[in-house]
Amino acid sequence: MTVHQTEIAQIEQHCPYLVRYAMLQLRNASVAQDVVQDTLAAALGGLARFAGHSPMKTWLTGILKHKIIDHHRRAAREQPLTDDETRSEGEAADALFREDGHWDVPPNHWGDPERALDNKRFLEALEKCTQLLPAKTARVFMMRDVMQLETSDICKELGISATHCWVMLHRARLALRECLQNTWFGKP
């Protein structure tokens, strides 16, 4: 029995959460498991430095975020964006607007969407929508809207320009809005 038994038990307790978080970001079970394992290894190695200043979950999530960013950085290096992907996504985004720049189908009022935040089925619907995003768009969107990295940091990690980054974020939001409209808010 080491002195760290309690902490190890606590780390184990957070594993399902870490796997879920990684899955949302990486959308691939085996990659998510690898990243969580690296996180646990780093956490065990760093237990001495974890002084309990922050909650265990926050500390672990912090390590996991770094591991996810490492993964994205490697992936961006190995498979840079192709023009084809960029073009077809651009076409999908353009199709939401008419020639004259007006909305083809103007976004209508969603009523009181805040209530949906506590609805498990709504959160699942949103997660499904994120899974429909092209992988690279999803990557940038998750780094920004979930991990809350600054766009300048995302650009640096992924080796893309700020303008490209904004375009991808906008396309992700257009696509998610459209998906939620069709699968949730627009349903009779």
| Closer residue to other proteins (CB): 4 or 125 | 125
| Closer residue to other proteins (CB): 47 or 126 | 126
Distance of closest approach, residue 90 Cβ to other proteins, in angstroms: 12
CA-to-CA distance for 64 and 13, rounded, in angstroms? 15
| Closer residue to other proteins (CB): 59 or 141 | 141
CA-to-CA distance for 149 and 157, rounded, in angstroms? 10
Distance of closest approach, residue 20 Cβ to other proteins, in angstroms: 4
| Closer residue to other proteins (CB): 4 or 17 | 17
Distance of closest approach, residue 183 Cβ to other proteins, in angstroms: 13
Residue type, 17: Y
Angle of helix 5-26 versus helix 56-78 axis, rounded to 10: 40
**Of residues 173, 43, 167, 50, the one with CA closest to residue 107:** 173
What residue has token string 């430095």?
Answer: 49
CA-to-CA distance for 140 and 86, rounded, in angstroms? 13
Helix (H) / strand (E) element for 139: namely helix 135-141
Token pair belonging to 44: 């065990």
Distance of closest approach, residue 4 Cβ to other proteins, in angstroms: 24
Give burial (CB, 10 Å; 0-12/13-18/19+) of 144: buried
Distance of closest approach, residue 176 Cβ to other proteins, in angstroms: 5
Distance of closest approach, residue 2 Cβ to other proteins, in angstroms: 28
- Site residues for other proteins per CB under 8 A: 16-17, 20-21, 24-25, 97, 100-103, 106-110, 113-114, 116-117, 122-123, 126-127, 130, 141-142, 144-146, 151, 162, 165-167, 169-170, 173-174, 176-177, 180
| Closer residue to other proteins (CB): 11 or 169 | 169
| Closer residue to other proteins (CB): 73 or 173 | 173
